[in-house]
Amino acid sequence: MPKGENAHRKAIRRTKRRKNANRRLLGEAIEKTRQEAPDQGPMDPVTALGIVLDRTYSWLVYVQARTEKLPEERFWRKTKTGVRLPNEWIRLERDLRSELTYLSARMLDLDIEDRKAQAAEIVAQIFAPVIGGILKDLQLTKKQRAKVKGIVARHLALVEGGTDPLRGAGD
């Protein structure tokens, strides 16, 4: 066995041990929390969904901070077969965004009036950095930037239940 291959296998074993240790610690923390948490009795589904939404949003904020700190050379990793995969933090951010979008849609489907405004703010907080980053990368002139607000508002009307700007009101 070549010397480099042996070192590679040792590195893989170290990584697996570290991941297993992290999983064990997480499992212990969850179990300890479960044991120490006071019994809240039957919980209103609206309250439960709100707690899950808030928790998912706070996880997303944390993961976004970690993703922003990633050096560019760690954005992708190669598997043994040569397939390029995004970094775990990037995949987790994508999954949390999907989950948050699903939960927000579920809250709106349940027609939870007192949470609609908060859900809309969370969705806006998700899209605002994305749109801001796109506009920054485009390096628009002042004249073009002045038009952006109206264009974005018109196209985001779908999110608020408006009409499709490409089809018009009558289609």
Helix (H, G, I), strand (E, B) or coil at 86: strand
Query: What is the three-state SS of the chain?
Result: CCHHHHHHHHHHHHHHHHHHHHHHHHHHHHHHHHHHCCCCCCCCHHHHHHHHHHHHHHHHHHHHHHHHCCCHHHCEEECCCCCEEECHHHHHHHHHHHHHHHHHHHHHHCCCHHHHHHHHHHHHHHHHHHHHHHHHHHCCCHHHHHHHHHHHHHHHHHCCCCCCCCCCCCC
**Amino acid 141: pLDDT:** 86
**In angstroms, rounded to a whole number, what is the distance separating the alpha carbons of residues 37 and 29?**
12
Residue pLDDT, tens place only, 104-140:
887 777 665 556 667 777 877 887 888 888 888 888 8
Residue % of the chain over a pLDDT of 90: 2
- Say what the pLDDT of residue 89 is: 85
- pLDDT tens by residue, 44-77: 777 788 888 888 898 899 988 888 888 888 888 8
Residue whose structure tokens are 């560019």: 72
Is residue 98 over pLDDT 70? yes
Most confident of 23-37, 71-85, 91-105, 106-120: 91-105
pLDDT at 6: 75
pTM greater than the 0.85 cutoff: no
Residue 159: per-residue pLDDT: 63
Quickly state the pLDDT bin for 171 (edges 50, 70, 90). Answer: very low
